Amino acid sequence: MRVRALVVVAVVLIFLHPSSDSVVHGQSSGLVKVTPLGSHAGELCRNDRALLFEDPTGVRILYDPGRTVDETDSRLGDVHVMLLSHAHADHIGDSRPVPGGGTCAAPATGAANANSNFATIAAAKNAAVLAPGELSGYLSRKIANVRGSAPAACAEGGLDNIFDVPGSAPCTASLRPGGSRTARRGGAPTGVRIAAVQAVHSNGVPAALVDTPGEAPGLSGYGGSEAGFVITFTNGLVAYLTGDTGLFGDMESIIARYYRPTLVVPNMSDTVTLGPNEATFMIKSLVRPRTVMPSHVNEQATSGGSIRSGTRVDLFQLFTRDYADVVVPVSDVTRSFDGSGRCIGCR
Ligand SMILES: [Zn+2]
Ligand SMILES: [Zn+2]
């Protein structure tokens, strides 16, 4: 009887809550730190994809390491959770970085990493790996190649699918649109909720990263569906990481109306993802966040940390700045965001 009464009370509270049609945001204070880990310090460069997030409770999340960071990189520190939007080489990381090598427009390419930078980082950091489609099984195999044994499945406790960090060994889990998991730092009352959302792109595993017996010439491995992510931090910040994608209507109907992101990181490189015009439409008319950080720009976007004229990022910020704060994710510079999506000290 007592359990039934509690259930009734909970259901009544859910229906009375003014935000019952959307995600209920966290209430705690503090700032979320976001650090881009690119190829050249102080600049936004061609290969830059990796972002490191740190929640006020200490949960640290690495998103799409790509070719600019591997497990030997001292910038990483602790990594508790790793997110992979899709398996393309520039996101999973098929070659190791050459710190400071080459130029911002054409960074140097290091040695091939047959297990991927993503998997070697996860193996070294005992990270919880969340990935869409069929990638969690694929990444388990890659982590097993490094460590000699397959990682366990990540825990999914309670109704919030909670796993605690730091872990003592890597784990892997699928995260598909509609689902979410919560990373909780040892004993914290709340955790960081990570949801997968749709992206429109593709998710072939590069043939060079497929283990024996490999793929037929010209084909890539099956990776299932690509994804974006929505991360709801404990201070209330909601970050939408688009992954590689084009425009789709559910950016407005589901991502904006249900998840209500206040910070958006669009992948904006024009031939295979949103271009500046499409990204502007998304920000202005579909998602309407407080702040936007254009990433994956496939160009030397900055010089001395300032936007270069005539670049995609320049065009984007001219189009967008009346509608959202544009923060350029230059490498190694940590930005801090409050619960409303405002970048503190950025202006
Ligand atoms: Zn891609
Ligand atoms: Zn890409």
pLDDT tens digit sequence for 275-297:
999 999 999 999 999 999 999 99
pLDDT value at position 270? 86
Of the bound ligands, which one is closest to the alpha carbon of residue 297? 2
- Report the separation in Å between the CA atom of 272 and the middle of ligand 1, taken as the mean of its atom positions: 7
Q: Is the pLDDT of residue 1 over 50?
A: no
From ligand 1's centre to the CA of 91, what distance in Å?
Answer: 7
For range 321-331, the mean pLDDT: 97
Q: Cβ of 246: how many Cβ atoms within 10 Å?
A: 14
Nearest ligand atom owner, CA of 199: 1
Residue 67, both tokens: 């070719």
Report, as an integer, the average pLDDT of 309-319: 98
Alpha carbon of 22 to ligand 2 centroid (Å): 30
Residue 51 near residue 31 (C-beta atoms within 8 A): no
Both tokens of 193, joined, read 């909720």
Residue positions counted in the chain: 347
* DSSP SS3 for 197: strand
Average pLDDT, the chain: 93
Contacts of 152 (CB under 8 A, 6+ apart): 169, 171
Structure-token match 């406790």, residue found = 157
**Average pLDDT for residues 87-92, to the nearest whole number?**
98
Structure confidence at residue 253 as a pLDDT band (50, 70, 90): very high
Mean pLDDT of 139-155: 98
Note the pLDDT of residue 16.
Answer: 39
Looking at the predicted structure, is the pLDDT value of residue 20 above 60?
A: no
Distance 91 CA to ligand 2 centre (A): 6
pLDDT at 23: 45
From the CA of 269, the nearest ligand is 2
**Tell me, what DSSP letter sits at residue 267?**
B
**pLDDT of res. 28:** 56
Average pLDDT over residues 142-155: 98
Mean of the pLDDT values across residues 182-208?
A: 96
- Which ligand lies nearest the alpha carbon of 296? 2
CA of 104 to the centre of ligand 2 (A): 17
Q: How far is the CA of 317 from the centre of ligand 1 (A)?
A: 23
Task: Name the band, by pLDDT with cuts 50, 70 and 90, for residue 336.
Answer: very high
Average pLDDT of the segment spanning 306-328: 98
Average pLDDT value for residue range 229-244: 98
Q: What is the Å distance from ligand 1's center to 244 Cα?
A: 5
Sequence-separated contacts (24+) of 308-311 with Cβ below 8 Å: none
Task: Kindly identify the ligand whose nearest atom is closest to the C-alpha of 298.
Answer: 2
How close is the Cα of 153 to the center of ligand 1, in Å?
26
Please give the pLDDT value at position 187.
80
pLDDT (0 to 100) of residue 84: 98
164 pLDDT higher than 70: yes
Q: What is the pLDDT of residue 17?
A: 39
Q: Which of 26-30, 100-104, 163-167 has the lowest mean pLDDT?
A: 26-30
How far, CA to CA in Å, does 40 sit from each of 67, 90, 314, 329?
Answer: 12, 16, 19, 12
The pLDDT tens digits of the residues spanning 100-136 come to 899 999 999 999 999 999 999 999 999 999 999 999 9
Instruction: For residue 296, report the distance from its CA to the centre of ligand 1, in Å.
Output: 10
Q: How confident is the model at residue 77 (pLDDT cuts 50, 70, 90)?
A: very high
**Predicted local confidence at residue 15, as pLDDT:** 39
Largest CA distance in the chain: 69
Lowest mean pLDDT among 20-24, 120-124, 163-167: 20-24
